[in-house]
Amino acid sequence: MATMSFKTISLSSSITTTNAARLGELTFSTIPKIIETPAAMLYVRSGVVPDVTYDLIPDNVTRLFEIPLGSLVDSMKNLEHTGSYGSFARITDPIYCPFHDSLVELRPGGSGNLYSSVWTKAGRQELNIERFKKLIKLVQPSVYESMFDGDTPIDKTTEKRLVKDRERSRRFLESSLGDKTILSNAIIPLVGGQDKRHRQIYLNDILSHISNNENNILGVSFEGFHSYGPSTENADLNSLKPIIEETKTKLIDYKNILFTMPLLWRPDNVIHGIDLGLDLFSGAYVAHISDRLIILSFLYNDKMSSNTLGAEYNINSKQYANGKQSLVVDCGCYTCKNYTQAYVYHLIQTKELLSRTLITIHNLYHYHGFFQQIRENLKANTWNDYRIMILKQYAIEQEKKE
Ligand SMILES: [Zn+2]
């Protein structure tokens, strides 16, 4: 498998010590490119970026594909003859395979002593560790998340369940790390639900694996906090802050370990995530809102003139039937340069799939443009003002909903 490495870049700025925001770089052994972090990935569902073809993906999108493992189980037979998923799907950009799909809610009871399940829209796929390892060998992603239990929904988790969660996740991890053919480029899931003590024990249990395999481990992901799916759009990151901070303190000597966490990353939560020092973000939020005909309209750079649309709006509303402006004024995306709100609204009414394509193009451009601005503001030492500017817009949005 191609190797991928990560390094953090020290900020020249004096971001307050309570803030862990940071910049980093991902590099690859086989592809001459650098991905700057913080970054959002490009979410892929059933082998395609939802509603757009590759040639329509805006240029400012970070081309690191996020392909949940569940969507690949059905392709196992095909992959046996094609080499890797990249060559099968003609993807030359790097691929990250998270164990779960950020868009699909997990149901309880998906794991046993010898297996864990991935969930797809079509249902459950059981993976034992051998099948998991075989899948990773067939897919050959640039980086993958190791199999884990993580079945710890906050209101239903008992002490006994947390112990099982740790034991199984550790066993799955050790089996992955023990296999030299898939050892490189692993992301280690950290489990223990929302229980600080269990999360501590788990981290202590596996810390030696991190130090023994430092060159092969790309990063860690914060798992077990939630059950994935649409409700995570409203996750309260502040409640997780002490747990994440404690973990990061323990890992302070590992400067080049990347931090990631699955979630439907609404832009205000992206800001909170960056403040916690996260580097890599799921891009599934774009698919989530585009499915619901929501348009991202918050101001994310100082070249945009203020509008009355709010942070996000639903284009499927009669008030846009005669909208003569683009989805967002001053937006440089293909949709906004060529079409009006009224046209997109009309396409929705006539059930033309093109409406979804145009919406997705705009949302991808807006979301990834936002991440670009985040990096610029971190570099320019203007992060504090920038984060407040974004949080304000979403605070107003939340008030409207209440
Ligand atoms: Zn646009």
Measured in Å, residue 261 CA sits from the centre of ligand 1 at: 27
Read off the pLDDT band of 18 (50, 70, 90).
low
Say what percent of the chain tops pLDDT 90.
Answer: 76
pLDDT band at 83 (very low <50, low <70, confident <90, very high): confident
Number of folded domains that form the chain? 2
Of 229, 263, 290, the domain-final residue: 290
Give the Å distance between the CA of 363 and the centre of ligand 1.
7
**Do 145 and 19 share a structural domain?**
yes
Q: Name the residue with higher pLDDT: 123 or 172.
A: 172
Each residue of 194-223: pLDDT tens digit? 999 999 999 999 999 999 988 889 999 999
Q: What is the CATH number of the domain that holds 62?
A: 3.20.20.105
Its domain, for residue 315, covers 294-401
Ligand 1 centroid–CA 388 distance in Å is: 23
The answer to whether residues 26 and 149 belong to one domain is yes
pLDDT in tens, 349-400: 999 999 999 999 999 999 999 999 999 999 999 999 999 999 999 999 888 8
Q: How far apart are CA 347 and CA 344, in angstroms?
A: 5
Final residue before a domain boundary, out of 248, 263, 290: 290
What's the 41 CA to ligand 1 centre distance in angstroms?
Answer: 19
CA of 58 to the centre of ligand 1 (A): 10
Q: Please, is 153 exposed, middle or buried when counting C-beta atoms within 10 Å of its C-beta (0-12, 13-18, 19+)?
A: middle
275 and 365 inside one domain: no
Mean predicted confidence (pLDDT) in 229-254? 94
**Per-residue pLDDT at 272 exceeds 60:** yes
Q: Do 261 and 213 reside in the same domain of the chain?
A: yes
CA separation, residue 22 to residues 16, 203, 255, 375 (Å)? 12, 22, 11, 9
Residues 286 and 299 occupy one common structural domain: no
Closest listed residue to residue 169, CA positions, set 133, 124, 129: 129
Compute the distance from residue 121 Cα to the ligand 1 centre, in Å: 29
Nearest one of 66, 145, 151 to 106, comparing CA atoms: 151
Confidence at 138, pLDDT banded by 50, 70, 90: very high
| Contact between residue 50 and residue 291 where contact means Cβ atoms under 8 Å apart | yes
Give residue-wise pLDDT tens across range 297-353: 999 999 898 888 999 999 999 999 999 999 999 999 999 999 999 999 999 999 999
Domain limit, last residue, from 269, 290, 311: 290
